[in-house]
Amino acid sequence: MVFPPIYHHTGLETSGGATRVAQLVVDGLRRRNVETNHSFELAEKQDGTAILPNDFGRYLPGNAIGHLHSTGNWPDLLTSISARARVVITMHDCELFTGGCPYPLDCADLDEKCADPCSRNFPEAESLKKQKLHQVQRLEPALVAPSRWMARLAKTHLYRSVTVVPNGIPWPEQPVSKRVARRKLGLHNAARVAVFAAHGGMNAAYKSGDAWKDIWTALKARMPRLVCFAVGGDREEQQGDLILWPYVDRARLSLLMNAADVLLYPTRADNHSLVVLEAMSCSLPVVAYSVGGIPEQVTDQYTGLLVPSGRNKVFIDAAELLLSDPAMIRQMGVDAFDSGRKRFDSERMVEGYMSVYKSLIGE
């Protein structure tokens, strides 16, 4: 089958889960000799070129498939595209069908009209929600969600079928030895090491960044030999055995995860987290809240431990249980690596999107 060009579009150029997924798909398509392109709204490299949302349609060739991943303005981006165009939209969060919030959490207005004024201060939320729905109905795109959880939500609010293509990352043949990784980081082999990681660090609202220090303090009181890294903030600092790291490159984060015993991931909302996949690819078990698409990644009692959302004490108890049992850490780490390699390798993700493109061509 001869493929048309595939034009991917994201809001950011060098950061963000949507951008990374889009680039992995672009790389996979190029390996398959499919013509492809990746445009951005915010070019973060000095030589980067930005395409504003309302200009994307003008740059989309008539024979191409437009694959939209993220944007700072869904109505303008969708309006710019001709109704004759073939379009794929991957929903990396909920913004396509809400009044502005990436994740509605416990918003009572999600299933009805957005409140006026919006309780979370999104301006003209109901009007924005209607504009996006109108454009989706006009374009009739192929909708994709990385998780079944997101697919169910999107189908309810956009009244269209949704294909599930789980996120993927390049999977190593085997993880780096924990002993080797610790030696490179100067960590003692006998230490217990926990990691928090999220873009924004302790300011990451959806990832419970404001609760990281409380969780750490409680765990440290129970486990005096515990060392913890909090990654993703805006500064580098050491507070006793709590080490704060700013946003680090993927190689550095991977080295830390290979050296650690557990990823602490008290996320309040998530679709299909790349941070969790990074941990699994490093044989790192995860303790997380059972929200969104997380249970589709982490199997409770097998590749990590899941606890009810918002239950901080239960989360701390689960983390202590795992950190206190080296045998459980090793076995869950092995199972996480093997499970993830079968389900979440980036090549499998690319093949999933190839199937979506084929369905559009067939139509």
Q: Are residues 60 and 132 in the same domain?
A: yes
Q: Are residues 139 and 278 in the same domain?
A: no
* Domain count for the chain: 2
Does residue 43 surpass a pLDDT of 80?
no
User: How does DSSP classify residue 170?
Assistant: P
Q: Are residues 339 and 351 in the same domain?
A: no
Tell me phi and psi for residue 349, to 5 degrees.
-60, -45
261 pLDDT band (50/70/90 cuts)? very high
Q: Are residues 163 and 103 in the same domain?
A: yes
> What amino acid is encoded at 72 in this protein?
G
273 falls within a domain:
yes
Q: Are residues 151 and 207 in the same domain?
A: no
Q: Are residues 296 and 358 in the same domain?
A: no
Q: Report the distance separating Cα 134 and Cα 266, nearest Å.
A: 35
Does residue 363 surpass a pLDDT of 90?
no
pTM comes to: 0.94
> What amino acid is encoded at 173 in this protein?
E
User: How does DSSP classify residue 207?
Assistant: G
1 falls within a domain:
no
Q: Are residues 314 and 351 in the same domain?
A: no
Q: What is the pLDDT of residues 316-354, one digit of tens each?
A: 999 999 999 999 999 999 999 999 999 999 999 999 999
Q: Are residues 144 and 109 in the same domain?
A: yes
173 falls within a domain:
no
Residues 77-90: what's their mean pLDDT? 97
Q: Are residues 21 and 146 in the same domain?
A: yes
58 falls within a domain:
yes
Q: Are residues 210 and 73 in the same domain?
A: no
Angle at 52 between CA 27 and CA 271, to 5 degrees: 55
Domain, as residue range, for 97: 6-168+346-362
Q: Are residues 111 and 253 in the same domain?
A: no
